[in-house]
């Protein structure tokens, strides 16, 4: 079974959102989905807004990340979520 490395870009709905709290909520959803969070980055976008980019590893047999994206989009203070990168893990 191969693993894939996925990066989610989560945009908060305003610049005052506590990204650490949001990060913990999203990581919990990733773990419940069957993924293993590996790396988190906070990327400045514009006008004080930052994106939360979370990279995680999951088994490719899980299939599409759409159910996870839908769950994350329902979290309070999330404006949008999108998968920005998917790669098959080597090794």
3-88: CATH topology? Alpha-Beta Plaits (3.30.70)
Please state the domain extents for the chain.
3-88
* Whole-number pLDDT of residue 48: 87
- Provide mean pLDDT across the span 1-16: 94
The pLDDT tens digits of the residues spanning 75-87 come to 999 999 999 999 9
pLDDT at 91 over 90: no
pLDDT at 47 over 90: no
Confidence band of 11 (pLDDT split at 50, 70, 90): very high
* Whole-number pLDDT of residue 90: 79
Q: Identify the three-state secondary structure at position 65.
A: coil
Q: How many CB atoms lie within 10 A of CB 34?
A: 12
On the CB side of 28, CA atoms within 13 Å amount to 7
């Amino acid at each position: 079974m191969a693993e894939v490395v996925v990066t989610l870009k989560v945009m908060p709905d305003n610049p005052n959102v506590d990204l650490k709290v949001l990060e913990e909520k999203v990581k919990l959803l990733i773990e419940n989905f069957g993924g293993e969070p590996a790396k988190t980055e906070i990327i400045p976008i514009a006008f004080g807004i930052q994106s939360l980019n979370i990279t995680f590893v999951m088994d490719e047999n899980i299939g599409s990340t759409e159910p996870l994206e839908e769950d994350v989009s329902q979290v309070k203070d999330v404006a949008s979520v999108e998968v920005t990168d998917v790669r098959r893990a080597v090794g």
